[in-house]
Amino acid sequence: MSEATAPMATALSGYELLADPQLNKGTAFSEAERDAFHLHGLLPPHVSTLDEQISRALQSLRQFETDLERYAFLRELQDTNETLFYATLVANLEELLPIVYTPTVGAGCQQFSRLYHKPRGLFLSIPHRSRLDQILAHPRFDGVEAIVVTDGERILGLGDQGAGGMGIPIGKLALYSGCGGLHPATTLPILLDVGTDNAECLADPLYVGWRHARVRGQEYDDFIEAFVSAVIRRWPRVLLQWEDFAKTNATRLLELYRDRLCTFNDDVQGTAAVATGTLLAAINVTGVPLVEQRVAVFGAGSAGCGIARLIHTAMCDAGLSESEATARFFMVDRDGLLIEDMPGLAPFQIPFVQKRPAVDGWTLGRPDRIELLDVVRNARPTVLIGVSGEAGAFSEPVVRAMAQCNERPVIFPLSNPTSRAEATPADIEVWTDGRALVGVGSPFPPLLRDGARFRVDQTNNSYVFPGVGLGVLAVGASRVTDGMFMAAAKALADASPARDNPRHNLLPPVSALREVAAQVALAVAMQAHRDGDAPDVAVDQIQQRLRAKVWTPRYVPLTAKET
């Protein structure tokens, strides 16, 4: 019997077995299993197939009126029967991804305290910092290989959601399993509860988090250090993903810990990889070489600068010098274009500031700052990327100016959720007469081009991080490097339908995310081997290791463990 169908022994029975989401099969328990585990009477007599259960789940899901109701239903299903949840998700990625992940997960975070019913993951709070080792030590977590952690301060474009931010690690790990194939028993969502500055949360009598102003400074750093140290003691080879930390902490914590354990920040590096990969795919359509691209980024936080850094590396790999590549970036934040000697610059922003002589002579709308529209009119960028969380920031004048200076402007309003996008694809389509190459962070309705529906490319991290996690864990990489994310970006570009036909999409459909993850995982694993970060794996073992790591959601026969 193959490993995938080998029986699993358990000492649970009756209600205890039905209450375990990793083992529960609901009405799919066989007659023999019902005999062995005392399930007769607790279940209706019909023995269902997994396909029948999926059909029943979809019928129930589709009867709800709102996506938030559908989100709550799927979260309940995940907490009741993980195999059914993931089988339903994998078979219906295009329909369910916007509910499990962005944009609906944003509303799920905002309503987390009202939707909370069953425990999932870990809430580690500052009042319990002395108990971290004790909490992590539970045998239930022995098989953990991948952690997604947030402190809830910068949830999508919604800001501080406190304990409600737990919805993001849960959602991300659902994609690790649904798209990347990691077994859910090996994943662990964690919320670091350091308080919140969200007044609505603190005033809400139903708020489930620690009711305290958000802790900052040395006390915050000490708590993060205690957490990382405890994780390393518990799981020395774990993959830890930082998620939705504020820009003051995201890059700083990544740099502090990236060589102490196998870790990365998806907002900084995953966003960079998907944006770079989609840009490389767009070059096949525009015909403008990478070394001739000029990139304007609106939102010069950790995500925006992460994107700039990876595209900059790609430009240098293509032949530009460091200074030549740097001059091609125009980073715009709330105070306008970042220029040398501007006060208040963060360390990660400084490498991408423009020299003052470069902007001398520009025609400006106002004398005291250089706005985004000024940048587009004067610098004439070929690419416009938005990671600001500022809805409508790509106004009609900005987009029309992009279209005026480019035959095929590349415009990526990437902010999530949908309500925070810098522009809608429909508006961009009208303002550029259908010439723009558009990538968005959340799903939008298709456009109408030449009388046919044209899918809008969802330039979202879900195209990258599941494959990165799969590749890293399959070969036991000791760290996650920028080279791995460049490999992931190139693998994504290689999967572009536009490579074969420039009239096609830049990215594969969401329904193909599981196949994309496999391609990205192979590229990441090969890069880890080339760089010496997976010394225990021979190159001819990589494909086999990847296949062995991929979990397919189906029921495993259960047998009673002898006591």
Residues 194, 311 within the same domain: no
Q: Is residue 33 part of a domain?
A: no
Q: Is 247 a catalytic residue?
A: no
Catalytic residue among 101, 207, 463, 555: 101
Asked whether the beta carbons of 2 and 551 are under 8 A apart, the reply is: no
Residues 418, 514 within the same domain: no
- The pLDDT of residue 210: 97
Among 176-185, 286-295, 363-372, name the one with the lowest average pLDDT.
363-372
Domain-ending residue, one of 418, 442, 460: 460
Domain-ending residue, one of 226, 260, 294: 260
- The pLDDT of residue 563: 66
Q: Give the number of domains in the chain.
A: 3
Q: Is 172 a catalytic residue?
A: yes
Residue 532, classified by CB atoms within 10 Å of its CB into exposed (0-12), middle (13-18) or buried (19+), is exposed
Share of the chain above pLDDT 90, in %: 94
Among 230-234, 298-302, 446-450, name the one with the lowest average pLDDT.
446-450
Q: Is residue 381 part of a domain?
A: yes
Q: Which domain holds residue 178?
A: 49-260
Confidence of residue 58 (pLDDT cuts 50, 70, 90): very high
Domain-ending residue, one of 219, 243, 260: 260
Residues 137, 164 within the same domain: yes
* Distance from chain centroid for Cα 538: 30
Residues 467, 456 within the same domain: no
- The pLDDT of residue 449: 87
Question: What average pLDDT does range 48-73 have in this prediction?
Answer: 98
Residues 279, 179 within the same domain: no
Please calculate the CA angle 310-427-371 and round it to the nearest 5 degrees. Answer: 55
Average pLDDT, the chain: 96
Per-residue 3-state assignment (H helix, E strand, C coil) for 98-150: HHHCCCHHHHHHHCHHHHCCCCCCEEEEHHHHHHHHHHHCCHHHCCCCEEEEE
Question: What average pLDDT does range 48-77 have in this prediction?
Answer: 98
Residues 417, 430 within the same domain: yes
Per-residue pLDDT reduced to its tens digit, 11-40: 999 999 999 999 999 999 999 999 999 999
Residues 96, 175 within the same domain: yes
Q: Is residue 487 part of a domain?
A: yes
Q: Which 8-state DSSP code applies to residue 17?
A: H
Neighbours of 451 (CB within 10 A): 5
Q: Is residue 81 part of a domain?
A: yes
Per-residue pLDDT reduced to its tens digit, 504-526: 999 999 999 999 999 999 999 99
CATH number at residue 440: 3.40.50.720
Question: What average pLDDT does range 358-368 have in this prediction?
Answer: 91
Q: Is residue 38 part of a domain?
A: no
Neighbours of 59 (CB within 10 A): 9
Distance CA 42, CA 105 (A): 33
The residue to which tokens 């490498």 are assigned: 351
Question: What average pLDDT does range 51-59 have in this prediction?
Answer: 98
Asked whether the beta carbons of 105 and 143 are under 8 A apart, the reply is: no
Distance CA 244, CA 214 (A): 15
Residues 451, 543 within the same domain: no
Buried b (16+ CB within 10 A) or exposed e, 119-153: ebbbbbbbeebeebeeebeeeebeebbbbbbbbbb
Q: Closest Cα partner for 225 from 249, 188, 253, 247?
A: 253
The residue to which tokens 């339903």 are assigned: 88
The radius of gyration computed from the CA coordinates of the chain, to the nearest angstrom, equals 24
CATH number at residue 179: 3.40.50.10380
Residues 63, 150 within the same domain: yes
- The pLDDT of residue 1: 31
Residues 342, 381 within the same domain: yes
Q: Is residue 212 part of a domain?
A: yes
Residue 481, classified by CB atoms within 10 Å of its CB into exposed (0-12), middle (13-18) or buried (19+), is buried
Question: What average pLDDT does range 51-70 have in this prediction?
Answer: 98
Per-residue pLDDT reduced to its tens digit, 295-317: 999 999 999 999 999 999 999 99
Distance CA 198, CA 92 (A): 35
- The pLDDT of residue 141: 97
What is the helix (H) or strand (E) element at residue 194, kind and residue range? none
Residues 329, 408 within the same domain: yes
Within 8 A by CB and 6+ apart from 299, the residues are 332, 333, 386, 387, 388, 389, 390, 415
- The pLDDT of residue 3: 45
Catalytic residue among 25, 71, 86, 172: 172
Per-residue pLDDT reduced to its tens digit, 8-18: 999 999 999 99
Q: Is residue 31 part of a domain?
A: no
Q: Which 8-state DSSP code applies to residue 208?
A: -
Residue 54 has pLDDT above 60, yes or no: yes
CA dihedral 157, 161, 166, 167 (to 10 degrees): -50
Give backbone dihedrals phi and psi of 29, rounded to 5 degrees, phi first.
-60, 130
Per-residue pLDDT reduced to its tens digit, 385-414: 999 999 999 999 999 999 999 999 999 999
Residues 201, 64 within the same domain: yes
